Amino acid sequence: MPSDTKRADEARFSRADVARIATLARLELTEPELDLYARQLGGILEHAEQMQSVNTDGVPPYTGATTDDAGDALRDDMPVASLSVEAALQNAPQGDRVAGTFVVPKVIG
Amino acid sequence: MATRETTIAVRDAIARGERTATDACNAALATIDALDAAGPALHAFQLVLAERARAKAVALDHAFAKDATPAGPLHGVPIAIKDNIVVNGTIATAGSKMLETFVAPYDATVVERLEAAGAVIIGKTTCDEFAMGSSTENSAYGPSKNPIDPTRIPGGSSGGSAVAVAAGMTTVALGSDTGGSIRQPAAMCGITGLKPTYGRVSRYGLIAYGSSLDQIGPFAGNARDAALVLEVIAGHDPRDSTTARRPVPSFSSALTGSVAGLRIGVPSRLLEHGVDPEVLSSFNAATASLAANGATIIDIELPHSRHAISAYYLIATAEASANLARFDGVRFGLRVPGGSLTEMYDATRGRGFGAEVKRRIMLGTYVLSAGYYDAYYLKAQQVRTLIQRDFTTAFASVDTVLMPTSPVPAFTFGERVDDPLQMYLADVFTVSANLAGIPAISIPCGTTTTGLPIGMQFLARAWDEASILRAADAWERIHAHASPHT
């Protein structure tokens, strides 16, 4: 276990922790949501803590067991039809059909 | 409540010319009209595709009038589809405001296969937002109600599909099961629900939640109908590289009606705590009855299953946090305007997602974040290996494992919604099959004294859906009143 791993802190989630995760997840949260998630996520992780008692020395992480016979999952490298630009843009909140692009707010000032 | 027909009876009546596909379609639409928005207002359907369904049925009838040859094994059978599976040209919300106006530009593979087999898609069913939930209370469009007792939840996340079949609106429906989302609502509504082996059914066109766990499967009134639908939707798909290149057996021909000689493993220690007494006594009566009919009941250990909930909620949310990154207001779905690109992302995701989805994205983001990955995500994946090994050990001495589907019968609306951990803990018996990638089928096992359905599930080795369908079919015959409505 890496030394920077925090586990048994008593207040597992502060509002600041929740705000930091929300930034990583690109979620705008309201003030009441910060409080609610601090409490609820703390409770869920506290329960998950029981898992730490399982001896997993030398146990490989699961990588999928039932696709063992999938073998070479690559298909032949032949072009196949894909969505048209028109179809791909049909659900775009803002698109430019002439240029064939999605449009987003200005990225570079 | 309408008397439930079987899928095979509907199909055969049409094939014999006693009934038309249009008639079957109109009957389904009439039942939906009577029960879904009106009457008990069950809200099984997010969207009824009446015009599209009638047009398909008319086309099937025209073709059949010419050559008297059914289009396929589901010719004329109305079917309901969970709203997280896409149907070309129709709205797919997945229960989210994020996709309120999203019109799917292609068909899911399962939809293509159903329609090629002659099935008529009647509508899209209510589900918890992005399939995250156990009650449909997380749908942004309002929950579905349990037809047995409309003050109670139907289970989730594929609750609407379960209600459609349980209330006799359709004879079959599709759902998706990431941690029990087919089996748990099937149990709570008193019907049959099958989660196939991971890789058996294509996920192409399923709006992704936990990609290493998600699997599409059927709801039906009995095992034989479930087997028929599985035969149609299963098999390799070049558009989903996790589907196996193995032949799809005739599941229907595996149904011998007998459990004689079947070795059934029961993890009795796992059932010692937290199971409702009525669920437990019904389950125990069922195992005794199976033994009396020639099955051998063997006590087994699944020592790591008590950690399955923790492992599941860390792995599923980690995968969800990655899968749901695509809902960012750029290519499809909701956009909430913002001054900069990141402000637009934050506002769109903050307001477009509901409370449970945000909770799971947050949890998943946390367990994958620097410094926590080893303690949570890696540990959970190691525990997952141990859970899978437990099943491998068990299946060395038994043909199938039997346990309750849900530790409790259907609860009332609002009863658990404020306590996510309590809601998660109710998935204790269903998540293991997803973690291990193995197939499982929930079937009715009895009812509580107040008449609420109780379900139990058979699990088998990967790819051995035949064994659990055979066991389920035999159980139906043993327990002639397995379903209180037939």
pLDDT tens string A26-74: 999 999 999 999 999 999 999 999 999 999 999 999 987 555 555 566 7
**pLDDT for the residue numbered B392:** 96
- Does position B159 have pLDDT exceeding 70, yes or no? yes
Mutate to test the interface with A, among B331, B341, B391 (most CBs of A within 10 A): B331
Higher pLDDT: A10 or B273? It is B273
Local confidence band at B1 (pLDDT 50, 70, 90 cut-offs)? very low
Residues from chain B that touch A106, judged by Cβ atoms under 8 A, are 340-341
What domains, with CATH codes, occur in chain A?
A: 9-53 (1.10.20.60)
Tens-digit pLDDT profile for residues B74-104: 999 999 999 999 999 999 999 999 999 999 9
State yes or no: is B82 an active-site residue: yes
**pLDDT for the residue numbered A71:** 56
Which residue in the block uniquely carries the two structure tokens 């779905």? B333
State yes or no: is B157 an active-site residue: yes
Q: With contact defined as beta carbons under 8 Å apart, do B170 and B225 qualify?
A: no
Structure tokens at B362: 């947050």
Least confident residue range of A77-86, B219-228, B305-314: A77-86
A50 in reach of chain B (CB within 8 A) = yes
pTM above 0.80, yes or no: yes
Mutate to test the interface with A, among B363, B367, B435 (most CBs of A within 10 A): B363
Q: With contact defined as beta carbons under 8 Å apart, do B465 and B196 qualify?
A: yes
Tens-digit pLDDT profile for residues B386-434: 999 999 999 999 999 999 999 999 999 999 888 999 889 999 999 999 9
Q: What is the nearest CA distance from B303 to chain A, expressed in angstroms?
A: 10
What DSSP string runs through B167-231? TTS-SEEEEE-SSSTTHHHHHHHTSEEEEPPTTTB--TTB--S-TTT--EEEEESSHHHHHHHHH
**pLDDT for the residue numbered B479:** 87
From the list A28, A45, A93, the residue facing B335 with the nearest CB is A93
Distances in whole angstroms, Cα of residue B175 to Cα of each of B79, B125, B166, B193, B293: 11, 9, 14, 9, 32
Tens-digit pLDDT profile for residues B167-201: 999 999 999 999 999 999 999 999 999 999 999 99
From the list B103, B310, B342, the residue facing A50 with the nearest CB is B310
DSSP state at residue B447: E
Q: What CATH number should be reported for the domain holding residue B292? A: 3.90.1300.10
Which residue in the block uniquely carries the two structure tokens 């399982």? A54
- Does position B276 have pLDDT exceeding 80, yes or no? yes
β-pair type (B440-447, B453-459): antiparallel
A21 in reach of chain B (CB within 8 A) = yes
Number of domains, chain B: 1
Local confidence band at A2 (pLDDT 50, 70, 90 cut-offs)? very low
**pLDDT for the residue numbered B84:** 98
Q: Which ipTM did the prediction report?
A: 0.90
Local confidence band at A9 (pLDDT 50, 70, 90 cut-offs)? very low
- Summarize the confidence of residues B326-354 as an average pLDDT: 97
Whether residue B462 and residue A59 make contact (CB cut-off 8 A), yes or no, is no
Higher pLDDT: B77 or B479? It is B77
From the list B105, B197, B212, the residue facing A90 with the nearest CB is B105
Q: Give the domain range for residue B382.
A: 1-486
B335 in reach of chain A (CB within 8 A) = yes
